[in-house]
Amino acid sequence: MRAVVYLGPERLEIHQVPIPTLRPDEVLVKVRSATTCGTDVKTYLRGHPKYPPPFLFGHEFAGDVVEVGELVDNFVPGMRVTASCFGPCGACYPCKHRQENLCVNMIHNFAAYAEYVRLPGTFVRWNTLVIPEHMSYPQAALLEPLSSVVHSHKLVQVQPGEIVAILGGGGAVGLMHLQLARVAGAAQVIVVDKNPLRLEYARQLGAVTIDASLGDPLPAIQDLSEGRGADVVIESAGAKQTWEAAPVIARRGGRVLWFGGLAGGAKIELDAATIHYGEIILYNTHGNAPADFWEACNLVSSGLIDTQLLLSGEMALGQTEEALKRMIAGEAMKVSINPELSDE
Ligand SMILES: [Zn+2]
Ligand SMILES: [Zn+2]
């Protein structure tokens, strides 16, 4: 089969690799859509902190079950499915405490930009779901990132009537935060971003926008909140500057959610007095647990989360690098890679 292989920063190639063979508890899926992701962009540009190249690439996908191992009884060929990229063990301390996203034996599935993907047993048991008939494959591929956003909102718990500011809020994940905050009843969602296309999409989804390329967004956020600052500040850019800005933008007694990860070894500097005397509550979040995945599916299936603006068309497997470059240039949100399309 054809698969995208990551060879190092800014080096992707299509290789012929064997179709994976299954162990008795595994499932083989024919990929119908694999969506590009900000994490892929980061890996493409600077490598992955945990995985040395070469490796197969891509982690958000949906497709059809084509083969199941002899011990699998919950999936049969022909089912339309998607799976998280996290495979928790189900047996460790965090797993037993309903914190499967923090599993100490977690395995990851990074091989979605390919014609077929193998789901290891832990994914089959925990983190694979059959998608509703009316949900498209690209929509289903978005459930993986959406479930991480859902997970983070269970921590920060936006309350009805609150003002939420999202830093780096115009990317696909930022637009998911924006929509979830509105579903939770936020009175106002303020999106701060630099990219005109992203700001336009945020406005279409009901946000008030601030163009960060014009300077410090703090005065505008204070103007919009009667001088207090936002009740909730969500950092969705994955940048040191916005991590440090978030507690300053929050009101006294407000909450900060650091969602966007920083590079390994990154350090941040915070003013202890601002946080201490302002009783700023700081939330961190990582990945998603099986329950979040199911709830993400319900949110898209019911239409509460609109996926239309999050997807910028379809491209072929051989155009994966081009798709990532379109994201880097700020011309695309997520691109659906369809292995059935010809590269021509
Ligand atoms: Zn992703
Ligand atoms: Zn575990």
Based on the domain organization, do 263 and 179 belong to the same domain? yes
What local confidence, expressed as pLDDT, does residue 170 receive? 76
Instruction: Report pLDDT digits (tens) over 270-299.
Output: 999 999 999 999 999 999 999 999 999 999
* Pair (324, 233) in one structural domain: no
Q: Give yes or no: residues 278 and 315 share one domain.
A: no
Q: Which residues surround the ion ligand 1 when the cut-off is CB under 5 Å?
A: 37, 39, 60, 145
Q: Does 124 share its domain with 28?
A: yes
- Any idea what the CATH number is for the domain that residue 254 is in? 3.40.50.720
Q: Whose atoms come closest to the Cα of 36: which ligand?
A: 1
Q: 279 with 309: CB under 8 angstroms?
A: no
- Distance in Å, CA 123 to ligand 2 centroid: 12
How far, in Å, CA of 183 to CA of 305, rounded? 8
**Strands, sheet with 2-8, edge to edge from the N-terminal-most edge strand:** 11-16, 2-8, 55-56
Residue type, 57: F
Ligand nearest to the CA of 290: 2
Phi and psi at residue 137, in whole multiples of 5°? -60, -45
In a domain, 342, yes or no: no
Ligand in closest contact with the CA of 37: 1
C-beta separation of 60 from 85 below 8 A: yes
Measured in whole angstroms, the distance separating CA 187 from the mean position of its chain's CA atoms is 24
Residue 213 per-residue DSSP state: G
Same domain for 131 and 160?
A: no
Q: 97 CA to middle of ligand 2, Å? A: 10
**Is position 33 within any domain?**
yes
**Chain centroid, CA 324 distance in Å:** 15
Same domain (yes/no): 157, 280: yes
Q: Which of 46-60, 104-118, 295-309 has the lowest mean pLDDT?
A: 46-60
φ/ψ of 67, rounded to 5, equals: -160, 145
The sign of the CA dihedral 112, 116, 121, 125 is: positive
Cα 342 from Cα 344, distance rounded (Å): 5
CATH number of the domain enclosing 67: 3.90.180.10
pLDDT grade for 336, boundaries at 50, 70 and 90: very high
- CA distance linking residue 341 with residue 344, whole number of Å: 9
pLDDT digit string (tens) for 62-102? Answer: 999 999 999 999 999 999 999 999 999 999 999 999 999 99
Q: How much distance in Å is there from the Cα of 59 to the middle of ligand 1?
A: 6
Residue 230 has pLDDT above 90, yes or no: yes
Number of domains within the chain: 2
Cα(86) to centroid(ligand 2), Å: 11
Ligand 1 midpoint to CA 271 (Å): 32
**How many A from CA of 39 to the centre of ligand 1?**
6
Starting from the CA of residue 91, give the closest ligand.
2
The answer to the question of residue 71 being in a domain is yes
One domain, residues 274 and 316: no
- Would you say residue 289 lies in a domain? no
Asked if pLDDT for residue 169 goes beyond 80, the answer is: no
Does a structural domain hold residue 294? no
Tell me the average pLDDT across 214-237: 97
Rg for the chain (alpha carbons), in Å? 20
Q: Is 175 found in the same domain as 105?
A: no
Task: Assign 48 a pLDDT band (cuts: 50, 70, 90).
Answer: confident
Domain that holds residue 152: 148-284
Q: Which ligand sits nearest to residue 176's alpha carbon?
A: 1
Nearest bound ligand to the CA of residue 87: 2
Query: Domain for residue 343, yes or no?
Result: no
Distance of CA 171 to the CA centre of its chain: 10
Grade residue 110 by pLDDT with cuts at 50, 70 and 90: confident
**121 and 216 in a common domain:** no
144 CA to centre of ligand 1 in angstroms: 7
The average pLDDT across 306-333 equals 95
Cα(292)–Cα(290) distance, rounded to whole angstroms? 5
Residue 298 lies in a domain: no
Is residue 181 within 8 A of residue 164, CB to CB? The reply is yes
The pLDDT assigned to 309 comes to 94
- What b/e string do you get for 198-208 counting C-beta neighbours within 10 Å, with b at 16 or more? bbebbeebebb
Q: Encoding tokens for residue 37?
A: 């992701």
Same domain, 8 and 138: yes
Q: What is the pTM of this model?
A: 0.96
Q: Are residues 160 and 217 in the same domain?
A: yes
**Closest ligand to 171 CA?**
1
Are 270 and 329 contained in the same domain? Answer: no
In a domain, 344, yes or no: no
Ligand nearest to the CA of 141: 1
Give which of 162, 167, 196, 209 is closest to 182, Cα–Cα.
162
ω before 18 within 30° of 0 (cis)? no
Q: For 140-160, how does the pLDDT look when each residue is reduced to its tens digit (9 = 90+)? A: 999 999 999 999 999 999 999
| Half-sphere exposure of residue 19: CA atoms within 13 angstroms, side-chain side | 11
